[in-house]
């Protein structure tokens, strides 16, 4: 932070600002200018609260020069964070596709979708066992049983699995059964949950809140990093807008902005942004073109029978098409796509 003093600020006023900054545990560097003095504030993990100095006599302006999200910013780490999960690499040269059903409904349903996803050539599987649903009467997920099935399907396919934790109990099960722990859009600002899952030490897939600003999104990631877990995968999943043709609006502009600001990988979830399967493929292509490190999509072998999000779930043949197109598109934007194995 930079504190700018008025041109007529007295020595005493400057000394007073320096004293206040030091009193708050920061260092103050006085930088004399032609017409006025600036005071640089450094030396702490958290930024100084501007309210501590902005009303002091002689202070005219305050500028924030570093981001409030220090650890996730490129200021603290210039090179990209690359996350290895089993056979999958996220944030490296290759882009990834994560696919699976919205919810784990049964062993038969999960394995059917996972087999088709593996055949299509995806790198990770997804499936919710704890579903934050708008209505309390909707299917809420199989809970621990669902997580166990995910561990089984991971063993069977050899692919790592992503699943959501919503509280302390589900975080415990996630730690036991899954490879990547998802924090859903509705819980992006549940700071207790963020700290809880961060401490598990597994990669965290953090979804952007329905109306979260860039700063709020990065702040949430910072909570995980500040717990000593650097493995955060950001996920843009559509924000609330005025669209009357899609569930949400995929905010693709945040992808290159985050890429410039942060070393963390960012993927998109065109399924939850679209809310309808017919536009998932073009949104997935657009995401990769915009610089995303991958996409996460929902797939179901019988979407009309799905217990949640059937309308947006791809048919397996559509997932195959999506993977093929992304593999073709990736080299056009300087990326690659992993060989199927």
Max Cα-Cα span within the chain:
77
Nearest to 116 by CA among 326, 333, 303: 303
Residue 184 interacts with ligand PEP (CB under 6 A): yes or no? yes
Binder of Mn ion out of 222, 269, 309, 320 (CB under 5 A):
309
Nearer to ligand PEP, 73 or 271 (CB): 271
Q: How far is the CB of 242 from ligand PEP (least distance, A)?
A: 19
- Binding partner at 105 among Mn ion, ligand PEP, none, C-beta below 5 to 8 Å by kind: none
Residue closer to ligand PEP by CB (options 222, 269) is: 269
Q: Which of 118, 196, 237, 277 binds ligand PEP (CB under 6 A)?
A: 237
HSE toward the beta carbon, residue 306, CA cutoff 13 A: 25
**Positions in 251-270 near ligand PEP (CB under 6 A):** 269
Should residue 102 be labelled a site residue for Mn ion when binding is judged by CB under 5 A?
yes
247 binds ligand PEP (CB under 6 A): no
3-class secondary-structure state, position 61: strand
- Distance from C-alpha of 74 to C-alpha of 228, rounded to nearest angstrom: 17
- Say how far apart CA 328 and CA 257 lie, in whole Å: 24
For residue 196, the 8-state DSSP code is H
Sign of CA dihedral 297, 298, 301, 304: negative
For position 128 contacting ligand PEP by CB under 6 A, the verdict is yes
Is residue 207 within the footprint of ligand PEP (CB under 6 A)? yes
Q: Contact region for ligand PEP (CB under 6 A) — 28-36, 111-119, 169-177, 182-190?
A: 182-190
C-alpha torsion angle, residues 150, 153, 159, 162 (rounded to 10)? -10
Q: Which stretch binds Mn ion (CB under 5 A): 6-14, 242-250, 289-297, 305-313?
A: 305-313
Q: At closest approach, how far in Å is the CB of 339 from ligand PEP? A: 27
Q: In what order do the strands lie in the sheet with 27-32?
A: 27-32, 37-42, 2-5, 59-63
Compare residues 132 and 336 and give the one whose CB is closer to Mn ion. 132
Cα 208 to Cα 236: distance, rounded to the nearest angstrom = 5
User: Which residues of this protein are in contact with ligand PEP, per CB under 6 A?
Assistant: 102, 128, 132, 164, 184-186, 207, 237, 269, 272
């Amino acid at each position: 932070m930079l504190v700018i003093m008025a041109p007529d600020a007295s020595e005493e006023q400057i000394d007073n600002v320096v004293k206040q900054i030091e009193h708050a545990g920061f260092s103050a560097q006085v930088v004399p200018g032609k017409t006025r003095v600036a005071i640089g504030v450094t030396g702490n993990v958290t930024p100084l609260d501007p309210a501590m100095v902005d009303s002091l006599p002689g202070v005219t302006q305050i500028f924030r020069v570093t981001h409030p999200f220090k650890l996730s910013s490129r200021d603290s780490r210039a090179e990209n964070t690359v996350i290895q999960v089993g056979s999958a690499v996220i944030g490296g040269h290759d882009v990834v596709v994560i696919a699976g059903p919205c919810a784990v409904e049964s062993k038969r349903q999960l394995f059917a979708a996972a087999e088709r996803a593996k055949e299509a050539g995806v790198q990770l599987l997804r499936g919710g066992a704890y579903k934050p649903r708008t209505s309390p009467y909707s299917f809420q997920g199989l809970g621990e049983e669902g997580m166990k099935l995910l561990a089984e399907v991971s063993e069977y396919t050899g692919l790592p699995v992503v699943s959501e934790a919503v509280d302390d109990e589900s975080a415990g099960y996630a730690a036991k059964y899954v490879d990547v722990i998802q924090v859903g859009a509705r819980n992006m600002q549940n700071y207790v949950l963020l700290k809880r899952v961060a401490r598990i030490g597994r990669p965290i897939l953090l979804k952007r809140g329905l109306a979260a600003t860039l700063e709020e999104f990065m702040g949430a990631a910072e909570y995980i990093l500040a717990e000593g877990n650097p493995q955060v995968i950001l996920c843009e999943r559509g924000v609330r807008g005025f669209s009357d043709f899609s569930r949400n609006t995929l905010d693709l502009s945040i992808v290159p902005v985050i890429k410039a600001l942060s070393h963390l990988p960012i993927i998109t979830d065109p399924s939850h942004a679209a809310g309808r399967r017919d536009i998932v493929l073009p949104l997935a292509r657009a995401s990769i073109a915009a610089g995303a490190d991958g996409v996460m999509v929902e797939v179901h072998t019988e979407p009309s029978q799905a217990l949640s999000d059937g309308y947006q779930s791809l048919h397996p043949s559509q997932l195959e098409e999506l993977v093929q197109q992304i593999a073709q598109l990736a080299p056009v934007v300087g990326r690659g796509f992993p060989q199927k194995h």
